Amino acid sequence: MQLKELRQSFAVTYDYSVYFADGVFTPDNPLLRDVLSRAGECPHRLMIVLDSGVAEHHPRLGDQIQAYCEHHADAIALSGEPLIVKGGEVCKLAPLEVQQFYDKVAEEAICRHSFVLVIGGGAVLDAMGFAAATAHRGVKLIRMPSTVLAQNDAGVGVKNAINHGQRKNFVGTFAPPYAVINDVQLLSTLDPRDQRAGISEAVKVALVKDAEFFQYLYRSRHALGQFQPIAMQHMIQRCAELHLAHIANNGDPFEQGSARPLDFGHWAAHKLEELTHAAVRHGEAVAIGVMLDSLYSWRLGQLSDNDIAAIYATLTDMGFAVYHYEMAAMDVAGALEEFRAHLGGELCITLLDDIGVGREYATIDTDLMQACVDDLARLHAGEAQSVFASSAQLELSLAV
């Protein structure tokens, strides 16, 4: 019998907006109503999922949502009480929250034409985004990120995942949201640690994408370390803008290849989160990973002494630690191999050719990378001048 091939090819266009707002659930704010109305005939059924941390710090939020939906009953039909799921990385460690989501979708007759509004941090958005993408093969998801990290990075992209065993984000989907709404009021109750953690993703994307933005972060590092509102809002919006531009313009939005420049610093960050059983927050781990891979780039001769000093000053003056004692237990070669397996295919690690210029490397000198881990320990111990070249110009940079 002659071999016959039927070849299929089609394109799907994805289009979603990221909004920056203040007081989304104020009754006279039409934003959420308008977002749902754009889907066609109203009213639309809306299921609410709340991060437990958000519910705790905003105890009136459930009532505000109900009042808002009643005020806009011509467009919104609230399906029931909010589903409250555990916040933080714990919601990605086991399928309980995902199962609760499926059960509520079934109980409240949520279908592919309904909407789910998830309000929470990056981990909750990840887990509930996966649940939304797989219930009915996909229900319309509106993300409302509640942390700095989620508003500038995790909440604006196209990835959703839960963990499996010890493997971070092992089970997941690429599924763009219907919309993302960043409400500045949700950040008002964050503790300093959570506010700071999100800033590291801005440093990361600036280093690989935008030298001018990095210079802004360097100049504003003390203001950002004190969480001054104007500096924070500019940082969040520019970081989100760069993230969205990368997804739209790099030609691989669903990461079918191995190159993942926005994962700069993440191979070590993921391993550190695993070693500390998520006691180190993702953004804190990213700050350490960014400093580690910046040191490696510097040791390769790609960054100047002043460049590496500026990166170090930016992170530390913002309040980040650049080392954790669990790094001493990290098997560099093993962690790199785990990251390669996560990517699929060959290893692809983003390093810096210059400030604002990332490049993918397929091989890493593990001895040199281990030396950089040792450098981190010395930096953490206050021995910066024993790590960096001693010059009057460098000393001036570190003192700025």
Q: What is the Cα 28 distance to its own chain's centre? A: 31
pLDDT for the residue numbered 400: 39
Q: What is the Cα 49 distance to its own chain's centre? A: 19
* Cβ-based neighbours of 247, under 8 Å, separated by 6 or more: 157, 158, 253
Least confident of 3-17, 223-237, 253-267, 364-378: 253-267
Max mean pLDDT range (8-12, 99-103, 169-173): 99-103
Write the single-letter amino acid at 187.
Answer: L
pLDDT for the residue numbered 394: 43
Q: Kindly tell me if the per-residue pLDDT of 198 is higher than 70.
A: yes
pLDDT for the residue numbered 392: 36
Q: Kindly tell me if the per-residue pLDDT of 43 is higher than 90.
A: yes
Average pLDDT over residues 13-26: 94
pLDDT for the residue numbered 393: 43
Per DSSP, what are the bridge partners of residue 78? 46
What is the pTM (predicted TM-score) of this model?
0.89
Give, in degrees to the nearest 5, the angle at Cα 102 between 96 and 107. 125
Q: Which CATH architecture group holds 17-187?
A: 3-Layer(aba) Sandwich (3.40)
Q: What is the mean pLDDT of the chain?
A: 91
pLDDT for the residue numbered 398: 43
| Segments making up each domain of the chain, as ranges | 17-187, 192-399
* CB 182, CB 155: distance < 8 Å: yes
pLDDT for the residue numbered 147: 96
Average pLDDT over residues 297-311: 95
Rg, Å, the chain Cα set: 22
Segment 230-275, tens digit of pLDDT: 999 999 999 999 999 988 887 667 776 655 778 899 999 999 999 9
Q: Kindly tell me if the per-residue pLDDT of 396 is higher than 50.
A: no
Instruction: Name the one residue in this structure whose structure tokens are 């993408």.
Output: 133
Q: For 192-399, which CATH superfamily applies?
A: Dehydroquinate synthase-like - alpha domain (1.20.1090.10)
